[in-house]
Amino acid sequence: MTLTQLRYALAVLEHGSISAAARACYVSQPSLSEGLSQLETQLDVMLFERTARGTKPTEEGLVLLEQARRVLAEADTLQELAAASKVGVLEGTIRLGVIPTIGPYLLPRMLLSLERAFPRLELQIEENLTSVLLEQLRDHRLDMAIVALPYEIGDDLCAIEAYEEPFYVGLPPDDPLADRTAISLDEIDGSDLLLLDEGHCLRDQALEACQTPASALRRQFRGASLETIRQFVLAGWGISLFPELTIRPDEPLLIRPLEPPAHRDIVVVIRQGYARAESARALADFLGEAIAQSD
């Protein structure tokens, strides 16, 4: 039994077919099938049922595959400990996840100065929803993730605070609230609030900040990106909340602060016991200092 065979089996579980798992593992389908068969022979258990509709785990297989996941996590931790002993803070390769409402607005302005400050750092960046990034952290497919709180991350992960990001109200130029210097929560009509689709943590954070139930949202509008939201607000469909970094220098919307202020917390998330926790703290400190200097 090898770690490679265990990785093959978990890839089949994740992708639902041997062909898709082979592509994900960058091996040929016969090689993966052979490795999977050898694993089943050594365990004397059929891990998967092969049907015309795909490959599904057996009841016994699910139990063993969960144990395989834990074995691989411990093996990855061992490799991380060994690697951490050979590199300094923010050196070497770090697989970094970032959510869509942070990545395009934060990273382009930070990467050049980050590379100058830490020239031996090599970042591999993936953008995805918070829920996906946290699962990739748990599966050791990412080392760190930049996400926004409040969000329930679980006891197996820990969050290192980088900075607070205020929310602002974005209005069309002819909105009745356009003459306000600040907008109170009482003035925000939930029926006119346009937000991102479910799955984006910014949606829930904005609802919480505005103290608005999801059922009150206008036309159940669900935008796929902040740029979509921006264009619909500009067209007069409603208003929305925008994190500070997402506001353009040439912003076409009227931007007003909330009264009382509301914000989200930008954090770097890692696994509990992650060997390179010091690097995560250094990254969070760097981001916080860079934001403070740009104010």
What type of residue is 199?
A: G
Provide the domain count of the chain. Answer: 2
Structural domain span for residue 14: 3-84
Domain identity same for 11 and 138: no
Report the distance separating Cα 164 and Cα 149, nearest Å: 10
Q: How confident is the model at residue 34 (pLDDT cuts 50, 70, 90)?
A: very high
pTM of this structure: 0.74
Q: Please state the φ and ψ torsions of residue 293, each to the nearest 5 degrees.
A: -70, -25
Does residue 101 share a domain with residue 67?
Answer: no
Least confident of 65-69, 215-219, 221-225: 215-219
Report, in this order, helix, strand and coil percent for the chain, each rounded to 5.
Answer: 45, 25, 30
CATH label of the domain that carries residue 280? 3.40.190.290
Q: Are residues 247 and 182 in the same domain?
A: yes
d(CA 139, CA 69): 8
Q: Are residues 56 and 134 in the same domain?
A: no
Partners of residue 147 on adjacent β-strands: 267
Which range, of 54-58, 98-102, 104-108, 217-221, averages the lowest pLDDT? Answer: 217-221
Domain boundary (59, 84, 109) is at: 84
Considering the domain architecture, whether residues 31 and 100 belong to the same structural domain is answered as no
In the numeric block, the tokens 């691989």 are attached to 72
pLDDT value, residue 213: 61
Same domain, 66 and 124: no
- pLDDT tens profile 122-138: 999 999 999 999 999 99
Tell whether 127 and 248 lie within a shared domain. Answer: yes
For residue 86, the model assigns a pLDDT of: 47
State whether 173 and 196 are in the same domain.
yes
Asked whether residue 137 falls in the same domain as residue 56, the answer is no
| Same domain, residue pair 177 and 199 | yes
Angle subtended by helix axes 103-117 and 277-294, to nearest 10: 110
Query: 268 and 139, same structural domain?
Result: yes
What distance in Å separates the CA atoms of residue 212 and residue 186, rounded to the nearest whole number?
Answer: 10
- Alpha-carbon distances, residue 235 vs 77, 119, 170, 183, 246 (angstroms): 51, 45, 12, 20, 18
Contact 209, 241 (CB under 8 A): yes
Answer with the one of 67, 84, 101 that is the final residue of a domain: 84
List the CATH number of the domain containing 63: 1.10.10.10
Dihedral (CA of 87, 286, 114, 140) sign? positive
Residues 233 and 267 grouped into a single domain:
yes
Mean pLDDT of 272-291: 92
In which band, very low, low, confident or very high, does the pLDDT at 42 lie, cut at 50, 70 and 90?
very high
- Listed residues 84, 108, 129: the one ending a domain: 84
